[in-house]
A and B are shown apart, each in its own frame.
Chain A
């Protein structure tokens, strides 16, 4: 039995890697995408273009303006003097925000000890808008503390003392890069499997395979193993890049990570083979790959948290193997995942893998007509 499977595995690997074009497609893009996306996918804002509308002629207005321009997060793009200049700046995205320090700023601050500044933000990207506002808030708080100290006033009765665990600088790259490991591994496994049966069906070689002494289980193993090996190899490469190139700490234990990876690969391969054996043409296979892949990525918690989704959609994500692997990846990379969390994330992936592989094997024989 094993010699037959081995022969099939060999044939599959040759079919996948024989010509330069398909070798390139499987190996180069994931590495390039990891490097590009690892830098691109960040929520942190580094260059917020802002315009300053300083009407105040007093000293404190200038001091506050310097606080903001001096921050590494903000780039001053324009200084304006009239209301009419605000709208074109924001409409055309020249500036993300306009900071308006009114003519009474210094006077009100000195006399009453209380005043306000207006911050106008482009809300087209609401996440960026909220983040930029929170950066401004931090700067104004620092200014407030400095001003209060210079006046000999007491500090506010309560202040926050913030300790982020697992990611002390709240660097969103630490969150995204482990996620990319799962993202690209899934893409590669689907890439390898989703069209493999459909292609053989279209070319008529699958029928030939079925009349050989190979049993469906053996065909299934022969189709799964090459994808498993390629996926395992690429995932390892990506993990190495994440750890040593992007310097994401890997605090958890590797056996746990590889247990998760194995089950994740099985479930991805199962889904891919199921799509492939359902499809009659390669176009249907491609459609199936996208219909699975795109929602699986968006609803995995890779970019937006699952907890923010409506309950119905959250329940839908339970069928998505990627959601479990995301928890394992981030857990092992950043937190040092507790055993019991690892177990609760592992068994659903194993279940998805077994069910989809069984369906795929059954479909080999029963979808001939």
Chain B
């Protein structure tokens, strides 16, 4: 359902990946689920739900345009990937990475989407998290893509994903290139992963089923929550002696290694989010689980959404449900119901 609100709500079809993978719904079914949730737009991963990718036919486009009319939805964003390692014998060259990226820009234009989510070099921060010996689309390649974006009128949304934040200096070179060339076709995309104040219960469940100690994992999470609700950073050193007394097993150690990469943590600043809101071009409303009160169980949605309203954000927030991959080892994960509740929560935060 289309509205004239400044902040529009959409759904990333990523949220319904199990429904598609296990063939409960085809692409049209997933799009119908978006419409049913009350959203007015959707984001699509072409390699997941467009079997013809990377060469999309006019016939598909005609069908797709019909679907958008039938469900009164718009296609908001196409997810771009940097398949640098797609060949076995060598990495893609920068020219090849550029060409592959052009495919996504053209696809977005064909699908009627005004943005691509750019999988860029700093997606996971300036730290070389996976010890990569290759790069993704970096600021130089993005600069070469700007004239292509201008030709097709497609924005590159720089996903600012945890551990980065929207004000991380690693995004500056991209924005400077756009400024220098006078081609405003790259902009910041907030991802709510930057605003997580504790581990989600979806993670606790997954690690517990793998053999982790529920008592220890919940103690860790409760300590994070206590710190957040008392307005202080979570400092792992404060609870490490207690954790060690609980004798972590191997699975607990894996959990702790991942979640204590930063010894001290707190969600990114809501004030900065407010100050940047009017400059953001797109947002991923990430979530993993929703508690019995209807709140996302590790992100303070009322505060995040208020910051966006106060800062004058204009654009889409797409639900991005990532609980599926943390829950589906235990059985069917009802993605459609999670997204419905998430849309309801966001509407409530916006006073609708």
Query: Are A and B a genuine interacting pair, yes or no?
Result: no
Residues of A within 8 A of B (CB): none
Residues of B within 8 A of A (CB): none
